[in-house]
Structure 1
Amino acid sequence: MHIDLPEKRYYKIGEVAKAFQVNASLIRFWEKEFDIIKPKKNAKGNRLFTQEDINNFKLIFNLVKERGFTLDGAKQKLKKNPDSIYDTQEIINRLEAVKAELIKIKNQL
């Protein structure tokens, strides 16, 4: 899944939800369920997500929404062998970028 977010230091919950095409409530729920997501909060209590949080959301989204893991299964997978998941996700991200570039070239022809 290609996430279209501008390069920023912090992202608001609405931006993250829109990028993943989910409700903000799901983002809040995953934040509570998964320890790897730790957004900062401003004085008002609004969540501010870093790029690392976005990458962790990509992993969780891939496991739960795309590969069909249960929440408990995704938690176990992340705890059991997190390095292999990060490597796999990095490969997927690179392949999606190549695919997007090829589609762009195809459309220009």
Structure 2
Amino acid sequence: MADLQSIPEKMAFKIGEAAEMVGVKQYVLRYWESEFEMLKPRKSRNGQRVYSRRDVECAMMIKKLLYNDRFSIEGARHALRQLKSNVKSIVKEEKTTQVLARTQESAVGHLRSLVEEIRRIRQSL
């Protein structure tokens, strides 16, 4: 199995390429598609599966959970749902932090301009 950094920078992979990178047989990927909702490769015009980089990464994570960590299918599903939920929470926190930082910067700028205005008024008195 390749690691995430070794996935080629391509837009799409055929099922054979994806299976080779993940280190499983093609039928295993097809089975995982039926068991894991997050593994949903597109289909080409001629009906062939087309895996994105994200699909390959997802399949690698599924393999790690099932083969290395010895999760059951249901356990792996649960772990992936939990991971997805955690990522969403982190992204939400990050966005909130960015908004707060921008608000704080704006408030500091406004306070600085008020201090300058007060200084000018004091000097004119």
TM exceeds 0.5?
Answer: yes
Q: Deviations along 1:69-92, whole A, 9 cap, x unmatched?
A: 01011011112343558xxxxxxx
- How many Å separate the matches in 1 of 2:53 and 2:36? 16
* Residue equivalent to 2:60: 58
Q: What amino acid is aligned across from residue 48 of structure 1 in structure 2?
A: V
Q: 1:21 aligns with which of 20, 23, 39?
A: 23
- How many Å separate the matches in 2 of 1:48 and 1:83? 26
Flag structure 2 segments of 5+ consecutive residues without an equivalent.
Answer: 88-125
- How many Å separate the matches in 2 of 1:84 and 1:24? 30
Flag structure 1 segments of 5+ consecutive residues without an equivalent.
Answer: 86-109
- How many Å separate the matches in 1 of 2:21 and 2:83? 27
RMSD: 2.1
* Residue equivalent to 1:77: 79
Q: Deviations along 1:3-56, whole A, 9 cap, x unmatched?
A: 543210000000011112211000000011100011110111100011111121
- How many Å separate the matches in 1 of 2:16 and 2:70? 24
Q: Which has the larger radius of gyration?
A: 2
Please state if 1:5 is matched with 2:39: no
Report if the CA contact (8 A) 2:41-2:55 is conserved.
yes
* Residue equivalent to 2:47: 45
Q: What amino acid is aligned across from residue 11 of structure 2 in structure 1?
A: R
- How many Å separate the matches in 1 of 2:8 and 2:82? 32
Aligned length: 86
Higher helix share: 2
- How many Å separate the matches in 2 of 1:9 and 1:56? 15
